[in-house]
Amino acid sequence: MGLFDEMLKDNESLFKNEIALSFDFHPKPLKFRDIEQKQMAISIRPLFQGRDGTHLLVHGKPGIGKTIAVKQVLQELDELEEDVEILPIYINCWQKNTTYKIVLEICEKIGYRLIQSKKTEELLKIIVQKLNKSNVVFAFDEIDKVEDYDFLYTFLEQIYRKTILLISNYKEWLIQLDPRIKSRLNPQLLDFKTYNDMETRGILEQRKEFAFFPGVWDNEAFELVVHKTFLQKDIRAGLHLMKTAGLISEDVASRKIKKNHVNAAIKKLDELAVKDLGLEEERQFILNIVKLNSGKKTGDLYKVYQENNGKASYKTFRRKIDDLEKGKFVSVKTIPGGDGGSTSIVTYKSVKKLTDF
């Protein structure tokens, strides 16, 4: 055996197509979500018959294919060559978190440009008029991040033929919704379950084939990625790991991605997660408060926050708690009660790193 056979040459790469490991890459076909996508198709079907559609709250943990499954359904609608015109509109409410921003986004999507000096109300009216010329499927992703629901109320009331898909990590989001909206929306729940071991392997296998040249992954190394991803219950962790392990192997000019490269990748990602949190001083501050007062209600935590010179509004504070939950640093449990509404209990979770598993 030649001494250099195992060595990657300068101009060689293990990656066939690195982009396939990015989070917004759309692998086709999308595996293991046929049942959920069928459910969405059923809620859209009435639009083809000139009737109003039904609405869905798509919910489940982070990184399990909610966004990608919805986006692919919308894309199929866009490509349909039917007599009935159905307009798909996808909005990420984390980025567009007010009625005004959502309205501007829709104006842009439908090519309406005369927005200058028009108020939200006026623009809403124009949009409704234009959208009523066809059938609409709305997808409002990260719906729990919006600050007001005027747009939702208006669309429910004034758009005749629509299906509204709402996506969130929390199905409890429904509880706190204004009853006027809740009764009009009356959504069915579409529960996305986490992937089992076999499904996790299948998804990562597919990405591996898109992203890497054949044979570069050592079997044991790949199985380690699958195992860690399954425990983490988030496909993003697997994509991260595959990419980082690939880059580490290239750095040491190895022709194979081996188990020790995956282990190094796992360590690296943990450091990153800690650093990420460190960057956000405010979040770290709030996390510390939760840590010292684990199991208390959000209102009480906010009081402690203010007593310690926290300056953000309750709404912002609440949003940061939700972010912390999303990052799995705390857990939030909504329970009925309080002043006629609901209240949430926040518990500190000792940070689970990939190396903890």
Ligand X SMILES: Nc1ncnc2c1ncn2[C@@H]1O[C@H](COP(=O)(O)OP(=O)(O)OP(=O)(O)O)[C@@H](O)[C@H]1O
- Which residues of this protein are in contact with Mg ion, per CB under 5 A? 67
Interface ranges with ligand X (CB under 6 A) = 23, 27, 30-33, 62-68, 169, 203, 235-236, 239
Least CB distance to Mg ion at residue 62 (A): 7
Residue 84's identity, in one-letter code, is V
User: Which strand ranges, in their side-by-side order, compose the sheet holding 162-168?
Assistant: 86-92, 135-141, 162-168, 56-59, 188-191
Are 229 and 204 in contact by the 8 Å Cβ rule? The answer is yes
Alpha-carbon gap, residue 224 to 200, rounded angstroms: 12
**Closer by beta carbon to Mg ion, 60 or else 246:** 60
- Strand 342-348 vs strand 296-297: parallel, antiparallel, or unpaired? antiparallel
**Closer by beta carbon to Mg ion, 23 or else 314:** 23
Least CB distance to ligand X at residue 62 (A): 3
**Closer by beta carbon to Mg ion, 67 or else 344:** 67
Cis before 46 (ω within 30): no
**Closer by beta carbon to Mg ion, 67 or else 163:** 67
Q: Where are the beta strands (DSSP E) in 124-229?
A: 135-141, 162-168, 188-191
CB closest to ligand X, residue no: 65
235 binds, among Mg ion, ligand X, none (CB under 5 to 8 A by kind): ligand X
Which position has the token pair 């489940």?
60
Least CB distance to ligand X at residue 320 (A): 17
33 binds, among ligand X, Mg ion, none (CB under 5 to 8 A by kind): ligand X
**Closer by beta carbon to ligand X, 171 or else 259:** 171
Least CB distance to ligand X at residue 346 (A): 19
**Within a 13 Å sphere around the CA of 94, how many CA atoms are in the beta-carbon half?**
11
14 binds, among Mg ion, ligand X, none (CB under 5 to 8 A by kind): none
